[in-house]
């Protein structure tokens, strides 16, 4: 699991009072207001206070829309958590649009349409967004929900005509795209040249027996029994929810994901000389989907994780540099899991996470934490003698440590020092022996002449 360096475990204390929220809003202390209510159990706050707190957060969202859309979005998101009022959901959607978070904007508008059906702004803005996304049919469906006597009715009528015209234009093109897709998937009885097929699981323990999958490096597209889009070859099985993408959008999206995965495969091979010996599922979630499956708090804290024989990527709507780096990190975990028969249980956590983190640093062109704040923090901890000991990071997930960013960095630097002493090949041999049951102290002595205590000192010295 990879911790987002700017997100630590949220505080468990209840949020301040509604009166405090009003005071902070009155003084326009928007950052302090957000920090005061960014965590805590909302369910423990009485309904009347929730509305007051939401109102204060909404004022901040509206005030910052033009000058700081990112902070406006954060305030709007918390305002909607405390009370899904029309104002809070509208501001959340507007700030999401301004920060190019279109999936979040759509989710807020749909929630507004559900909670406030008489408010014409939600179906109007949702219809406009869907038209921009080239979803004319979806736009038409929501635009027809604008109340006929609302002030938005006239604009909605104009957009309805536009959506209908576009729907008619797309009809013939959609049929042709479906025909081409069937041809590409071999459903016409002809198979693209150079593609060998065999009946095999789709990769990992989650595959369905009897599923047809390519064993070449060519990718094949399809849909699994759960309704997820799939694209697979002998290395990866990509899975994601369709999210109303049309054929052209799917092809573009899958192409970017394929390029990122192939890059992760090639980079890992160059760095550690090993790759996965069987395909691995790569499940791509939007931030909303990840929050639904793993919880909102986890979605705010991590960029991705490897679990149940699958790489699971949070907020994969765009293949950003951070997303590609996360793919590299989690693919290293998949490789270790393949070669050590369950690395999560057989390797010390610091060794498992340290190698993945260090390879990620290398992918980003660094030999130390790419984040300057983390770099300074871990250096200060080393000088103060407050670095976590490797022995203390053997069994517990690093995300739950006192300072996750320092724990990850310390683990990665320990791996870096081992690589410098013997290269990647010796490190992998060492990891395989530890994964096979050899005591860590014995393996360190045999391969590096080290103990855990002496390696702790090497890490501290390297940082100083």
- The partner residues of 281 in beta bridges, in order of sequence, read 237, 310
- For the chain, the domain total comes to 2
Residues 123/145, Cβ–Cβ less than 8 Å = yes
pLDDT of residue 320: 77
423 and 297 co-located in one domain: yes
Please indicate, yes or no, if residue 362 is contained in any of the structural domains. Answer: yes
pLDDT of residue 152: 92
Last residue of a domain, one of 152, 171, 190: 171
Structure tokens at 127: 């219809």
Q: Which residues contact 198 (CB under 8 A, 6 or more apart)?
A: 212, 213, 215
Residues 382/460, Cβ–Cβ less than 8 Å = yes
Please indicate, yes or no, if residue 201 is contained in any of the structural domains. Answer: no
State the pTM of this model.
Answer: 0.53
Please indicate, yes or no, if residue 194 is contained in any of the structural domains. Answer: no
Residues of the chain with pLDDT under 50: 1-14, 172-174, 177, 180-181, 184, 187-216, 245-247
22 and 118 co-located in one domain: yes
Give the sheet arrangement for strand 302-307, strand by strand: 2-3, 302-307, 310-313, 280-284, 236-241, 228-232, 220-223
Cα 22 to Cα 385: distance, rounded to the nearest angstrom: 43
Q: Mean pLDDT for the chain?
A: 80
Please indicate, yes or no, if residue 193 is contained in any of the structural domains. Answer: no
Domain that holds residue 151: 2-171
Q: Which residues of 229-246 are buried (b: 16+ CB within 10 A; e: fewer)?
A: bbbbbbbbbbbbeeeebb
pLDDT of residue 208: 39
pLDDT of residue 252: 65
- DSSP 8-state class, residue 14: P
Q: Which residues contact 160 (CB under 8 A, 6 or more apart)?
A: 140, 143, 144
Upper half-sphere CA count for residue 256 (Cβ side, 13 Å): 14
* Angstrom distances, CA of residue 266 to CA of 247, 254, 274, 327: 28, 18, 10, 12
Structure tokens at 278: 């069987």
Structure tokens at 43: 């369910």
Residue 94: give its domain's CATH number.
1.25.40.10
pLDDT of residue 192: 36
151 and 276 co-located in one domain: no
pLDDT of residue 244: 58
| Coil vs helix vs strand at 145 | coil
Q: Which residues of 272-303 are buried (b: 16+ CB within 10 A; e: fewer)?
A: bebbbeebbbbbbbbbbbbbeebeeeebbbbb
Please indicate, yes or no, if residue 186 is contained in any of the structural domains. Answer: no
Last residue of a domain, one of 113, 146, 171: 171
Tokens 């360096």 belong to which residue?
5
Last residue of a domain, one of 151, 171, 191: 171
Cα 191 to Cα 422: distance, rounded to the nearest angstrom: 48
């Amino acid at each position: 699991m990879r911790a987002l360096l700017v997100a630590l475990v949220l505080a468990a204390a209840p949020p301040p009072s509604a009166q405090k929220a009003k005071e902070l809003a009155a003084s326009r202390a928007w950052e302090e207001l957000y920090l005061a209510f960014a965590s805590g159990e909302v369910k423990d706050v009485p309904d009347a206070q929730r509305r007051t707190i939401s109102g204060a957060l909404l004022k901040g969202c509206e005030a910052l829309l033009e000058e700081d859309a990112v902070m406006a979005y954060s305030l709007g998101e918390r305002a909607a958590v405390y009370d899904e009022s029309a104002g809070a959901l509208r501001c959340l959607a507007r700030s999401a649009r301004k920060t190019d978070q279109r999936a979040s904007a759509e989710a807020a508008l749909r929630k507004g349409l559900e909670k406030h059906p008489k408010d014409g702004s939600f179906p109007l803005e949702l219809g406009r967004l869907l038209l921009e996304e080239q979803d004319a049919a979806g736009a038409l469906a929501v635009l027809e929900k604008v109340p006929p006597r609302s002030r938005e009715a006239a604009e909605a009528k104009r957009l309805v005509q536009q959506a209908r015209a576009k729907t008619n234009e797309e009809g013939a093109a959609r049929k042709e795209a479906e025909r081409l897709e069937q041809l590409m998937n071999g459903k016409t009885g002809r198979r693209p040249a150079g593609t060998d097929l065999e009946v095999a699981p789709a990769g990992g323990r989650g595959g369905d027996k009897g599923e047809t999958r390519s064993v070449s490096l060519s990718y094949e597209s399809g849909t699994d029994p759960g309704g997820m889009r799939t694209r697979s070859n002998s290395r990866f099985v990509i899975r994601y929810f369709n999210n109303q993408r049309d054929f052209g959008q799917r092809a573009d999206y899958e192409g970017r994901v394929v390029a990122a995965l192939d890059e992760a495969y090639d980079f890992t091979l160059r760095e550690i000389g090993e790759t996965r010996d069987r395909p691995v599922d790569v499940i791509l979630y939007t931030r909303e989907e990840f929050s639904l499956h793993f919880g909102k708090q986890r979605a705010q804290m991590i960029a991705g994780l490897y679990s149940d024989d699958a790489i699971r990527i949070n907020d994969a709507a765009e293949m950003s540099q951070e997303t590609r780096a996360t793919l590299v990190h989690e693919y290293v975990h998949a490789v270790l899991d393949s070669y050590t028969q369950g690395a999560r249980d057989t390797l010390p956590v610091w060794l498992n996470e340290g190698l993945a983190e260090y390879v990620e640093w290398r992918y980003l062109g660094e030999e130390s934490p790419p984040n300057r704040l983390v770099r300074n923090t871990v250096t200060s901890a080393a000088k103060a003698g407050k670095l976590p000991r490797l022995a203390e990071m053997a069994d517990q997930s690093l995300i739950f440590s006192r300072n996750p960013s320092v724990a990850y960095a310390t683990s990665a630097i320990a791996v870096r020092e081992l690589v410098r002493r013997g290269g990647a090949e010796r490190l992998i041999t060492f990891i395989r022996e530890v994964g096979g049951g050899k005591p860590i102290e014995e393996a360190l002595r045999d391969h590096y002449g080290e103990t855990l205590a002496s390696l702790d000192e090497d890490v501290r010295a390297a940082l100083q």
